[in-house]
Chain A
Amino acid sequence: MEKNNNKGWLYLLPAIAFLGLFMVYPLIDVSIYSIEEGYNSASQSFFGVGLYNYSYVLHDPYFLQALKNTFILVAITVPVSTSIALLISLGLNSITKLKVMYQTIFFLPYVTNTLAVGLVFMILFNKTAYTDGFANLIINYFGGSSVDFINGPYWAKMFVLCFYTVWVVMPFKVLTLTSALASVNQQYYDAAKIDSASKLRTFTKITLPMISPIVFYLVITGFIGAFKAYGDAVALFGTDLNAAEMNTIVGYICDMLYGNSGGYPSYASAGAIILFVIVLTITCLNLLISKKHVYY
């Protein structure tokens, strides 16, 4: 028995080594950085230990802006992208003709180059000397006046960021949900039909509970992904996100490390730990809620 136990640990060793090296050690290291006050990276020295870094970060207007942006982004994109993906998958699942073609089309964004995507969004939203962008052309057509989506008002920029995020995460969600829907046994639908369940009732009472583990998985990963958003904002609004009021938490952390105002690993660490706590809390909440509503 004892011998077997050791063997088990041996099998686990590669995974444990990697997780320890790249997950646990950094987490501990960052926690330590975040409580070292006045850390100087050149001399590798600090004045004392305390919570000053947290206090600084939590009072920094840029961080508060980033916090607000991130929460708006999460609150909008996760439900919107998941429900739209569900609608698309249901549609894909119910058609027979050209199904594969549509599946391919919906999956294309997943394999499309980020730069190409950026270019498309430029055409859609960017206002230049020559054109107001495709989105504005539509607004103008319906009698509205042009909006500057990239350098204009806050809500317009937030709209573009959300739109972009939803669009980028959609293909994976559609793919996952389509396969989840396809895996529901036809017999349940037959039974529901015999029992004269309406389409809506069949969906809410049978389909949705059956695919709930996958929906739940997408919601959790969606939350985590949206909390870690950074690259999308840079692609749309450039590197000076603080000036554009479009910074995210991860953006703030990066700026603290490498940006123009950077060189503050302690502040960055404090920000990272705050993000970690937020994501952990949200995920735990999700798990609690799922116990009630997710059928395994």
Chain B
Amino acid sequence: MKVVLQNLTKIYPSRNKKTDSDVIAVNDFSFEIASGDLVGLLGPSGCGKSTALNLICGLQSPTSGSIFFDEDDVTAVPPERRGVGVVFQNYALYPHLTVKENILFPLQNLKGPDKIPKQDMLNRANEVAGLVQIAGLMERKPSELSGGQQQRVAIARALVKMPRILLLDEPFSNLDARLRLQTREELRRIQRQTQITTVFVTHDQEEAMSISDTIIVMRDGKIEQIGKPQQVYDNPANLFVASFLGTPPINVFEGHVANGSAYIGNEAVISGINAENQQVYIGIRPEGFILNRQGPLKCELSRVEAMGRDISIVSKHSASASSIVRSICSESDISFESEQVCFSLKPEKVFLFSKETEERITSA
């Protein structure tokens, strides 16, 4: 099912009228989620992504704007009648109920014409339990499960009533690194299998990039960019999106554009730029560096880290916005004794941002 948000705004009024100003948690959100999509809502903590999720599921009501599920305006519909499944950050499994009872709970709440016979309930519970691979744990209490298992139970409970939309709030944040990798693949598989429109919230860009069909990057309640993960990574709209996506993070230099070339210090690092002369931030992805003894970008070598397949060269540059410049190269053609390391750059991995607005300057 399609989800459409129109000019959605949520304002928390200030507690202390004299000193605080109102907090705008979600600011004029408008976007459309295609049916069957897996969407990652991505942003740093406090950017309003959980609020956005709560608005979609109905636990909070917007200050203004509307929400549509397909053609139905659900803005004023209470959460219990929206037909959404939610996986909470701490899973919110009822600790006194067994896994089976937890999964059955939403079905037992059905009333009137939606009511289903007991045997059907059990069948459906077993079906979703099979889907998330917890069929053997049905009689256990949540406290007897590992974090990953609890999360599967939470997903099963959200799926069992066949929701129109599945919403997940930081679904992987309570899992350890290995389990996180595994579980996000699992989520992807379950989502593919059920074809339920899914929105999940995360502050981890890698998570969002790896499994989403679409990512929505947020900052301070505003949408910064929407797009396919690779597209957003390759074409960031502004400095924030560029620095938020990617590990290791993008390297940012202060520089300027003059006569069709971008300069860092006195060196022209990229030429053929179709923009007027101005002060800029130059963002270079770690994989955008090429080791080249004659390269224009000269950095002071700090150390070289072997990362298995690649090597990571950590260096310093006076124009860099952060204390280190990290580049990733596959060739190990570097003399470790030298104090200087020179790079040429891959133009498609270099982005220019206006110093004033931090918006991207497209050179095409």
- Distance in angstroms between the alpha carbons of A242 and B88 in the assembled complex: 62
**Among the listed A196, A197, A201, A295, which residue makes an inter-chain contact with B96, where contact means beta carbons less than 8 Å apart?**
A295
Question: What distance in Å separates the Cβ of B105 from its nearest Cβ neighbour in chain A?
Answer: 6
A187 touches B90 (CB 8 A): yes
Task: Point out the residues of chain B lying under 8 angstroms from A212, CB to CB.
Answer: 96
- Distance in angstroms between the alpha carbons of A185 and B90 in the assembled complex: 11
Residue interface mask A172-210, B partner, CB < 8 A = 1: 000000000000010110111111111001000110011
A196 touches B81 (CB 8 A): yes
**Among the listed B78, B81, B92, B109, which residue makes an inter-chain contact with A187, where contact means beta carbons less than 8 Å apart?**
B92
Number of A-B contacts defined by CB within 8 Å: 56
B90 touches A194 (CB 8 A): no
Question: What distance in Å separates the Cβ of A76 from its nearest Cβ neighbour in chain B?
Answer: 30
- Distance in angstroms between the alpha carbons of A123 and B354 in the assembled complex: 83
Contacts A191-B86, A194-B85; A185 near B92 (Cβ below 8 A): yes
B95 touches A196 (CB 8 A): no
| Chain A residue at minimum C-beta to C-beta distance from B88 | A187
Task: Point out the residues of chain B lying under 8 angstroms from A194, CB to CB.
Answer: 57, 59, 79-80, 84-86
**Among the listed A190, A195, A205, A209, which residue makes an inter-chain contact with B59, where contact means beta carbons less than 8 Å apart?**
A190
- Distance in angstroms between the alpha carbons of A191 and B94 in the assembled complex: 9
Residue interface mask B49-62, A partner, CB < 8 A = 1: 00000000101000
Contacts A196-B106, A197-B109, A205-B105; A191 near B92 (Cβ below 8 A): yes
| Chain B residue at minimum C-beta to C-beta distance from A294 | B96
| Chain A residue at minimum C-beta to C-beta distance from B105 | A195
What does DSSP make chain B's interface, helix, strand, loop or mixed? loop
- Distance in angstroms between the alpha carbons of A191 and B96 in the assembled complex: 14
Per the CB 8 Å criterion, the residue count for chain B at the interface is 24
* Any A CB within 8 A of the CB of B161: yes
| Chain B residue at minimum C-beta to C-beta distance from A198 | B109
- Distance in angstroms between the alpha carbons of A187 and B84 in the assembled complex: 16
Task: Point out the residues of chain B lying under 8 angstroms from A196, CB to CB.
Answer: 80-81, 106, 109-110
- Distance in angstroms between the alpha carbons of A232 and B184 in the assembled complex: 64
- Distance in angstroms between the alpha carbons of A212 and B97 in the assembled complex: 13
Task: Point out the residues of chain B lying under 8 angstroms from A205, CB to CB.
Answer: 94, 97, 105
- Distance in angstroms between the alpha carbons of A165 and B105 in the assembled complex: 39
**Among the listed A185, A197, A209, A210, which residue makes an inter-chain contact with B105, where contact means beta carbons less than 8 Å apart?**
A197
B95 touches A295 (CB 8 A): yes
- Distance in angstroms between the alpha carbons of A295 and B97 in the assembled complex: 9
Question: What distance in Å separates the Cβ of A84 from its nearest Cβ neighbour in chain B?
Answer: 24
Task: Point out the residues of chain A lying under 8 angstroms from B59, CB to CB.
Answer: 190, 193-194
- Distance in angstroms between the alpha carbons of A187 and B174 in the assembled complex: 16
A190 touches B88 (CB 8 A): yes
Residue interface mask B93-104, A partner, CB < 8 A = 1: 011110000000
A188 touches B94 (CB 8 A): yes
- Distance in angstroms between the alpha carbons of A192 and B59 in the assembled complex: 11
Question: What distance in Å separates the Cβ of B158 from its nearest Cβ neighbour in chain A?
Answer: 8
Question: What distance in Å separates the Cβ of A103 from its nearest Cβ neighbour in chain B?
Answer: 21
Contacts A188-B92, A193-B59; A201 near B109 (Cβ below 8 A): yes
- Distance in angstroms between the alpha carbons of A146 and B85 in the assembled complex: 61
- Distance in angstroms between the alpha carbons of A192 and B96 in the assembled complex: 14
Residue interface mask A73-96, B partner, CB < 8 A = 1: 000000000000000000000000
Residue interface mask B63-94, A partner, CB < 8 A = 1: 00000000000000011110011101010101
- Distance in angstroms between the alpha carbons of A187 and B50 in the assembled complex: 13
Task: Point out the residues of chain B lying under 8 angstroms from A198, CB to CB.
Answer: 109, 111
- Distance in angstroms between the alpha carbons of A295 and B157 in the assembled complex: 21
Q: Which of B100-122 contact A (CB under 8 A)?
A: 105-106, 108-111
A190 touches B92 (CB 8 A): yes
- Distance in angstroms between the alpha carbons of A191 and B57 in the assembled complex: 11
Question: What distance in Å separates the Cβ of B217 from its nearest Cβ neighbour in chain A?
Answer: 26
- Distance in angstroms between the alpha carbons of A212 and B94 in the assembled complex: 14
| Chain A residue at minimum C-beta to C-beta distance from B167 | A194
- Distance in angstroms between the alpha carbons of A198 and B161 in the assembled complex: 16
- Distance in angstroms between the alpha carbons of A210 and B93 in the assembled complex: 12
Task: Point out the residues of chain A lying under 8 angstroms from B84, CB to CB.
Answer: 194
- Distance in angstroms between the alpha carbons of A198 and B108 in the assembled complex: 10
Contacts A187-B88, A188-B92, A295-B96; A195 near B109 (Cβ below 8 A): yes
| Chain A residue at minimum C-beta to C-beta distance from B82 | A194
Task: Point out the residues of chain A lying under 8 angstroms from B109, CB to CB.
Answer: 195-198, 201
Task: Point out the residues of chain A lying under 8 angstroms from B78, CB to CB.
Answer: 193
Question: What distance in Å separates the Cβ of A251 from its nearest Cβ neighbour in chain B?
Answer: 41
Q: Which of B204-224 contact A (CB under 8 A)?
A: none
| Chain A residue at minimum C-beta to C-beta distance from B95 | A295
A193 touches B92 (CB 8 A): no
Instruction: Give 14 A-B pairs besides A185-B92, A194-B80, A194-B84 with Cβ atoms closer than 8 angstroms.
Output: A187-B92, A188-B94, A192-B105, A194-B57, A194-B86, A195-B105, A196-B81, A196-B106, A197-B109, A198-B109, A201-B109, A209-B96, A210-B95, A212-B96
Listed by A's residue number, 12 A-B pairs whose Cβ atoms lie within 8 Å are A185-B92, A187-B88, A188-B94, A190-B88, A194-B79, A195-B106, A195-B161, A196-B81, A198-B111, A209-B94, A210-B96, A212-B96
A interface residues with partner B (beta carbon < 8 Å): 185, 187-188, 190-198, 201, 205-206, 209-210, 212, 295
Among all A-B residue pairs, the 7 with the closest Cβ atoms: A295-B96, A196-B80, A195-B106, A191-B92, A187-B92, A209-B96, A197-B109
